[in-house]
Every structure is written in C-alpha cells, then in structure tokens.
Structure 1
Amino acid sequence: MSEPCWRGCANLVCEATGGYERPLIEAAAALGLPLRRIHPSRARAFARAKAKLAKTDRIDAAVLAALAAFTADEPAPPLPSPAQRALAELMTRLGQLKDQRQAEQCRRERTESALVRRSIAASLALLDAQIREIGAALDEAIAADAERARTAALLRTCKGVGPVACRALLAWLPELGRLNRRTVAALVGVAPITCHSGSSIRSASITGGRKPLRDVLFMAALTASRHNPVFRSLYERLRAAGKPHKVALIAVVRKLVTTLNAMVRAGKPFQPA
C-alpha cells in the first residue's frame, strides 16, 4: 500500500470560514497533521504582498501553500475540547440573544402601532426566557467542571469581574493562566502596537484579538476603575497624566487581564497589594 500523500507535510493551513473549517481541523488532529487556521485577512494580505491581486480558487490554494511554508515555524494552537467548544457556543449564543433583545427594545421605543408593540413585547418575553435558559446552562457547565469552578471562584475575588465577565473569560479565553502577560494581552487584543517610521511617530493603538471578549472586559474594566482601588488608582493616574478616557480604560483592561492571568497561574485570589 502506497504512503498517503500528506505524510510528508510539515505544515498545513486553512482559512477560517465561520466554523465550516472545524471538521477539517478535527480530522487533521485525529491524523496527527499540523493544520493551523489562518484569518482570511492575513491570507489576503500575504497574497497582495506576493502581487497576487486576482482571487480565484486556484490562486488562493497556491497562496495558502506558500503561506504554510512561510509560517512553518509557528506552532499550531491546541484543539479545544468538545466541552470547551460547547461552552464557547453557549456564550456566543447568549451574546446573540442579548443583541437581538437590544434591537427589539430600540424598535419598541420608535413604534406607535399597538399591534407592533404587542409583537415586540412577545418577542422580548421569548428572548428573556432564552437568555435565562442559556445563562443557566452556562453556569451549570462551569459548576460541573471542578477546574473551571475553581477558576471561576478565583476570578470572582477580583472586584469588577462579575458573572458576565467570568463566563466570557472561561468560554473565550481557555488559555488564561497558561501564557505570559504579553501573549495573553495580545490574545484579548489590548497589547499596544507601536507605529514609528523615520520622523513619523504615531500613538500606539490596539487591533485584532478576540473582540467579543474585549467588549465584555471593557465593561468590567469600567466597573473596576470605579470600585477596585488598584484599578481606580491606575485609571486616575493616567487621566491625571493627560490620557484620554478610552486610552486609560484600555490600560485598565490590559492590567485586569494580566492580573487575572497571574491569579489563575498562581492559583491565588486577588490581592490588592
């Protein structure tokens, strides 16, 4: 029997396609193949760098093959467990339901028709019931896993991290406690990116990362900057130095993430000192 053609592959990549790539990634993991998922914007930028402006299936395949060779030294991230994927799906669904409820509430404020208002009220009642159901399922999944339950208890010792932020961290940042502070900040998308070239010096900015998680942690940082002395001190110091409100809050998010990462890694609750 001849050797399979993929046996000699040192590195494989595929584009993220909104979840449709998951069976391919799972099959590759079962076969021991080093398959990594690439963001489509990164693949497109690599194609432009190679002067490949056209986009066809054949060109895309050649670009991905070249990108696989170019990034061969990048380690493939570990495949999340089925339980972790289920937790992330529940958290994503909860966010979708909350977005739908917010949209319905905005529509209710603008409508004058009694029939439409009744329709919106029925929709809101259904959404509220589903939000409670998904929230309860999330809490049950966290409580059913001893390690997650311990991590959740640690996270909640930090004033500013409420139930919503705790769920989001457990669902969308399973690497918490296993990475260094720079890497975990980059995963969330709050690591400052400098843009200096010659005499042109622009302010550092943030980009990329896991936006849904960053949005949740932004609200957590807002609470922490008001009620947690450690983060309030940082926020007030930056504001006194002339930093804009949002810049100071992003710095609080970054310190919050790195602090929680250190807490989980050490297995110790939040210490104000």
Structure 2
Amino acid sequence: MERNRSENAEASIQDSLKRIAEHLKEEIEIIRQEIRKHISNDVELQNQDALICSIPGIGSVTSAVILSFMAGRKFSKAKEVAAFLGLNPRQHQSGSSVRGKTRLSKTGNAFLRSALYMPALTSLKHNPDIRAFGQRLRLAGKPGMVVVAAVMRKLIHVIFGVLHSRTVYSPQTAGGSLNI
C-alpha cells in the first residue's frame, strides 16, 4: 500500500514513504523469522508443518497460516474444517419460487480463505490430483471461480487427511482421481 501511495504522492514526501515501506518490509521479515522459530521450537507444529508442506501447491507461509488458525481446535471431519472456513456451499432458495445460484457460505474466516486462494491456483498447475479434479469440473461446465473455490475446499480436505492420518501426502492413482 505504501508503494502505491508513493507512486501518486508529491515529490516532497517520496523519500519518507520509501523509508516507511522499507521499515515495514524489515518488520514483516522479522515476524516471518519469529513464526519459523516458533514452529521449529515445537515438535508437534514442526511435524504438522512438514505434513502440510508435503502437499504440492502449499508452502511454508500457507502452512503457518493454517496451523495458526487451526491451533487448539479439534475437528473430527474435514467437512467441519471446510464449514469453519466458510468453504461449504450455501443454497439460495426461498420456498418453491426463488432458486438462486449456490454460493460459498463465507461464514468463516475471510483471511484464511484468501490465504488459500493462491495455493489453490498453484495446486491446479502442479498437483496432479488437484489438476485432474479441476479438469473434471471444467468439463462439467463450471465457471473458473467455482473451480477455484472447489479446489480450496478440496485442499482443506487433503490437509485434514494428511494431518489426521499423520502421513506425508502421496499422489493418488495414475489416473489422478482424488476421492476424499
């Protein structure tokens, strides 16, 4: 935001805005290092981080965000996690006459949903199971954002499965079908 602000700011405050942006960049890096240190100091978090990072398309930043939101919460099913994040479908219906499009409920944490957006796009390219899932949805005529939302939900199911089973992610059959 500060870089955008500096592009349109007067020349007299350009230097000040650049200093602020550099300071913010340094603070962000310090916080990232503290997060990495916290995860590396806790054996359970370290194991969970390794399991989550074994999924193609999910990196250390996304893993840390997921671990921070799921810490202390006990879920028994992947559907509960998806509902907690607001990635469950909600039908728009009233009586027999109003039938709108089904949408995401978005009742959960918007920050965590947004943190899953880029990993979903990356998984569509680099994870063979997710790529096959996305292709099936596209062939069924689903719009692009519906596919991305479904992939975000599928990633949560995969993450839950990896954490619940305590096993590293391994791609499914050669056909690439993912039935979780």
TM-score (norm 1): 0.60
Distance 1:262 1:161 in 2: 14
1:148 equivalent to 2:49? Answer no
SS, match of residue 203 in structure 1 = coil
SS, match of residue 56 in structure 2 = coil
- Tell me which residue corresponds to 1:204: 102
- Tell me which residue corresponds to 1:216: 115
Work out the percentage of aligned pairs sharing the same amino acid. Answer: 29
Spell out the pairing of 1:250-261 with structure 2 (5 A cutoff). 250-261=149-160
1:185 equivalent to 2:107? Answer no
Distance 1:253 1:176 in 2: 20
Match of 2:21 among 110, 116, 124: 124
- Determine if contact 1:191/1:254 at 8 Å carries over to the other structure: yes
Q: CA deviation at 1:129?
A: 0.7
Distance 2:109 2:80 in 1: 13
1:167 equivalent to 2:64? Answer yes
Q: Which 10-residue stretch deviates more, 209-218 or 231-240?
A: 231-240
Q: CA deviation at 1:172?
A: 1.1
Per-residue CA deviations over 1:145-194 (Å, capped at 9, x if unaligned) read 11000000000000111121111001112267733021110011101012
- Tell me which residue corresponds to 1:232: 131
Q: CA deviation at 1:265?
A: 0.4
Match of 1:110 among 5, 8, 11: 8
- Determine if contact 1:185/1:191 at 8 Å carries over to the other structure: yes
Q: CA deviation at 1:199?
A: 3.2
TM-score (norm 2): 0.89
- Amino acid across the alignment from 1:226: K
Per-residue CA deviations over 1:111-168 (Å, capped at 9, x if unaligned) read 351x321111100110011001000000111111110000000000001111211110
- Determine if contact 1:177/1:265 at 8 Å carries over to the other structure: no
SS, match of residue 264 in structure 1 = helix
SS, match of residue 101 in structure 2 = strand
- Determine if contact 1:190/1:254 at 8 Å carries over to the other structure: yes
SS, match of residue 100 in structure 2 = strand
- The alignment of Structure 1 onto Structure 2 pairs a total of residues equal to 170
Q: Which 10-residue stretch deviates more, 121-130 or 230-239?
A: 230-239
Consecutive unaligned residues in structure 2, runs of 5 or more: 173-180
Distance 1:111 1:235 in 2: 43
- Amino acid across the alignment from 2:37: E
Q: CA deviation at 1:198?
A: 1.0
- Amino acid across the alignment from 1:185: A
Distance 1:246 1:164 in 2: 23
Distance 2:27 2:99 in 1: 49
Structure of greater relative contact order (alpha carbons < 8 Å, 6+ residues apart): 2
Computing the radius of gyration from Cα coordinates, the structure with the larger value is 1
- Tell me which residue corresponds to 2:166: 267
Distance 2:82 2:124 in 1: 18
